[in-house]
Copies of this chain bind each other. A is one copy, B any other.
Amino acid sequence: MRYEKGQKDQTRQRILDTASRRFRGEGVSAVGLAGLMRDAGLTNGAFYVHFESKEQLVQEVLVDALDRRLDALVAAKAHGATLEDAIRDYLTPARRDAPDESCPTAALVAEIAHHPDATRALFTERIAVFIDFIAANLPAGDAGARRGDAAALFGMMVGTLQLARAVSDAALSDQILAGGVVAGIALVRALALQQGD
C-alpha cells in the first residue's frame, strides 16, 4: 500500500511519542522495540523504515523531550511564573506519579551517562541551554557562579524527584518532595543574598 501524504511523518511522530512516554516511564533499556512498535499500532519491521537504530530513536526522543520542556518553561515565564513557581510545580506528587509525562532528565539522566558519546553530546547541548535559562532567572551573581548555582538547583530538583520516586513509603516520599520545595526556595533566596556579602 502507498499511503497518503504526511502519513509517514505522522507515523514517525507516533513512534516518537510512544517511545518518549515509555522510555521515561520504564527506562530505555526496559523498553523493547517489538513491544514499542506494537504500542504504536505497527509491527516490529516498520521501525527501520523510520529510524536507523534504537540509539537514534533515543537521541531523537531526548532532543524532542528536552526541547518541549524548555518551551514549556519559557511559556510559563511569559505568563509571569517565577523560578520559585517552577520549583513548586516540579516537586509535586502528580509529577512524581507520572514519570512518563514528566521531566526527561529526572527519568533518564543516570541511563544517559552509560550511552554512546553522540547521545551524551546531544544531551549536554540541550542541558546547557536549560541550565543557562535557569541561571538567567536567578536573582543575582556573576555569570560563572550563576551557571553553577543553576546546575545545582536543577540537580536538586532532579535528585529529589528521583528519591521521591524510588522510596516506597508514601509519607516519606511526600516529605522529600515538600523538603525539596522548601530547600529550593531557600536556596534561590540564599543565592540572592550572597550577592550582598
- Looking at the assembled complex, report how far the CB atom of A146 sits from the nearest CB atom of chain B, in whole angstroms: 9
- Give every chain B residue within 8 A of A151 (Cβ-Cβ): 160, 163, 175-176, 179-180
Decide if A94 is an interface residue (CB 8 Å cutoff): no
Query: What DSSP secondary structure best describes chain A's contact surface?
Result: helix
Q: Chain A 171-197 against B: per-residue CB contact (8 Å), 1 yes, 0 no? A: 010011011101110110111001000
- In the complex, are the beta carbons of B166 and A160 less than 8 A apart? no
- Looking at the assembled complex, report how far the CB atom of A153 sits from the nearest CB atom of chain B, in whole angstroms: 7
- Looking at the assembled complex, report how far the CB atom of A55 sits from the nearest CB atom of chain B, in whole angstroms: 14
A120, A155, A165, A167 — which one has the most chain B CB atoms within 10 A of its CB? Answer: A155
Known: A27-B29, A120-B168, A156-B183. 20 other contacts (CB 8 A): A30-B114, A109-B163, A110-B110, A110-B111, A110-B162, A113-B165, A120-B167, A124-B166, A127-B167, A145-B182, A147-B179, A149-B179, A150-B179, A151-B180, A152-B180, A153-B183, A155-B160, A155-B162, A159-B159, A159-B160
